[in-house]
Amino acid sequence: MDWHPKTIVAGVDGSDTSHQAAERALAIARHWNAKLILATVVRQPEGWWGIGGAPPSPEAMASAIADGQRTILNEIVQRLDLDGVDYETLEDLGDPTTQLIKICETNDADLLVIGRRGAGIAERVILGSVADRLCHHSPIPVLVSP
């Protein structure tokens, strides 16, 4: 099989592990002259304002979410040396696993690069739940960065 990646999606959630995964994705993209898509998905918060509290307005929520995504994407774009690489940042809202798979499909990606863990407090687990679900359900090859 003469396989090499033409479009690579890197899942970034602001964690160091995901930054390292994105660095690996960039190295692979540079080597193969592939397109790199840096993608972040924000979960729609449900009831995080607590019992009895007034829910934030949809506008406030949407803008808080957009801010968070911009911060995550700005940070990774600043951190990586993207000179000469065809790249794109993508933000989405919803379930990270579902949306990342959708992003891979929509963009006809041939490789998904993620970290073993992410921004969650998951010291106890070896593989984060998003990484775990992606490994089970991804229609394209997944590279998991430790």
Does 103 bind ligand ATP (CB under 6 A)? Our answer is no
Quick one: residue 106, left, alpha or beta (phi over 0 = left, psi -120 to 50 = alpha)?
A: alpha
Does 82 bind ligand ATP (CB under 6 A)? Our answer is no
Does 11 bind ligand ATP (CB under 6 A)? Our answer is yes
DSSP state of 109: -
> Tokens for 24?
């690996």
Which residues would be at the binding site for Mg ion (CB under 5 A)? Answer: 118, 120
- Indicate the residue type of 54: A
Measured from the Cβ of residue 101, the count of other Cβ atoms closer than 10 Å reads: 20
Q: Is 2 or 132 the residue whose CB approaches ligand ATP more closely?
A: 132
Contacts with ligand ATP, residue ranges (CB under 6 A): 11-13, 15, 17-18, 21, 39-41, 96, 100, 114-115, 117-120, 122, 128-131
